[in-house]
Amino acid sequence: MYKPNHTMKIIIPVILLSILSYIIYNYIESRRQFVFGYGSLIIDKSREKTLEHPSIGYKAYLSSTFKYKRSWTMIEPKNSVHLVMKHNHKQEDNTPGVIFQVNPESLARLDYRERMYQRIQVPVHMIQTNEIQFHNNNKIWIYVRNNNPIHPVVYSTTDHVKYINQLLDACHIYGGDDYAKNFIRTTSGWNLNWLEYRSIHESLLRYKNVMEM
């Protein structure tokens, strides 16, 4: 009858422990959830105020094959200005944004914050980033337009300009000037009146030729 020697008695438990550790690690990794932010969620302070804890964001792009386009709109009933993702069969460009991890509690907080939007799932392969690795079973969420009536932006205020400046500052933090240019180019519904404000972000003035009206 075969009897394992002393070395085998040590190696076998180590191998079994390694296999078990891998299974546990793979399970934990597969349960991760993320949110793709494309508007105010790009701004670290805004995101962390809602989550009530530090949040690491990673530069990412939403594939054009998802067929949603970012746009400035006014949303009823308050007619406040928002960035929304609207379904668009003609979308041709990848949309720059930020990807960040969430837990169930964080997701509940975001759901309340984004209650004027609808949360839907994005296939993992439609998020492109060099800064984080996904498991095929990860869930990635995005907040898009719901059934609330929306309208083009028809007026401008200093609050709008302040919001735009915060967004473009965040773009520079995450990806520099080219990233800000991509943000402007892949966003429609810009209001030319915003360009008349002396305090408007220099990136918007520099790249106004790529704005989609």
Residue 13: pLDDT band with limits 50, 70, 90: confident
Say which residue, 2 or 155, is predicted with more confidence: 155
Contact predicate 142/41, CB 8 Å:
no
Give, for 83, the enclosing helix (H) or strand (E). strand 80-87
Instruction: Read off the pLDDT of residues 164-189 as tens digits, 9 standing for 90 and up.
Output: 999 999 999 999 999 999 999 999 99
Report residue 46 as tokens.
Answer: 């805004």
At 24 the pLDDT is 62
Contact predicate 210/93, CB 8 Å:
no
Contact predicate 191/179, CB 8 Å:
no
Say which residue, 177 or 75, is predicted with more confidence: 177
At 21 the pLDDT is 61
Instruction: Tell me how far apart the alpha carbons of residues 107 and 104 are, in angstroms, rounded to a whole number.
Output: 5
